[in-house]
Amino acid sequence: GAVAFLAVITSLSVISLVLPTLTKSTPDASMTHLQAVVFGTLTALLYAGFLAIQTMRHRTFFTEAKSVGGTPDETHGHAADYPVWVHAIAMIATLLPVVLLAKPLAKIIDFGLEELHAPTAFGGILIAVLVLSPEGLTSFLAASRNQLQRSVNLSLGSALSTIGLTIPAMLAIHLITGTPLELGLTPVDAVLLGLSLFVASMTFSGAPTNILLGGVHLVLFVTFVVLIFNP
């Protein structure tokens, strides 16, 4: 399952965030009208195809492996099964506060950045932490319970959904409203992205992993934060 996640994440990341910087059709890191239409459509289709594979054709690739006794690990119990409409209502109820608080929170963050004279990119990190913290904490909890596949699904699934949904939405808004949009990363950020994806592919390659690879990921993240404040 992790390999499938990384294959899609790597492809979408490079196409959407690296290629716009290298193409010659525009003088900056933006896309032409044709590129935006094609890349946005391909991103949405690839993400939809991944969801179809994950939920229907190859569901077993993304489920927890059975224990030695032949039955799933029930050490920590299982959550009660609820109908789909209950999950839908719960999802809307939890998303509603996020939507309502988005604009006031953005004003608070912008004010704080101005007062601290912090770079604008740091505000993006704060927003990302707030958005991804539920999945991140749940992923840590699953890993602590030795539910590794669930942890992988949560962490990599969150990254994939962010790219697979955000990129097409941003490109659609760009095409409809004409708002300028530059998705291409700077050379430094592109190198860090490529290095992170390479290390992630080694981490989830199937070979036994260890704490050292986790340390490598932390080093890459700290490097990214340092370069935001001191590029």
pTM of the model: 0.76
Residue tagged 């004279």 (tokens): 117
- In this prediction, residue 222 carries a pLDDT of 93
List the one residue out of 100, 121, 123, 129 whose CA is nearest residue 111.
123
131-179 tens-digit pLDDT: 777 778 888 888 788 777 777 778 888 888 888 888 898 899 989 988 8
205 compared with 59, residue with greater pLDDT: 205
Residues above pLDDT 90, as percent of the chain: 15
Residue 64 banded pLDDT, cuts 50, 70, 90: low
Report how far residue 18's alpha carbon sits from residue 186's, in angstroms, rounded to the nearest whole number: 8
What are the residue ranges spanned by the domains of the chain?
A: 2-69+118-229
- In this prediction, residue 100 carries a pLDDT of 76
- In this prediction, residue 1 carries a pLDDT of 65
Out of 69-73, 118-122, 208-212, pick the least confident.
Answer: 69-73
Per-residue pLDDT averaged across 35-55, rounded? 87
172 compared with 93, residue with greater pLDDT: 172
- In this prediction, residue 92 carries a pLDDT of 77
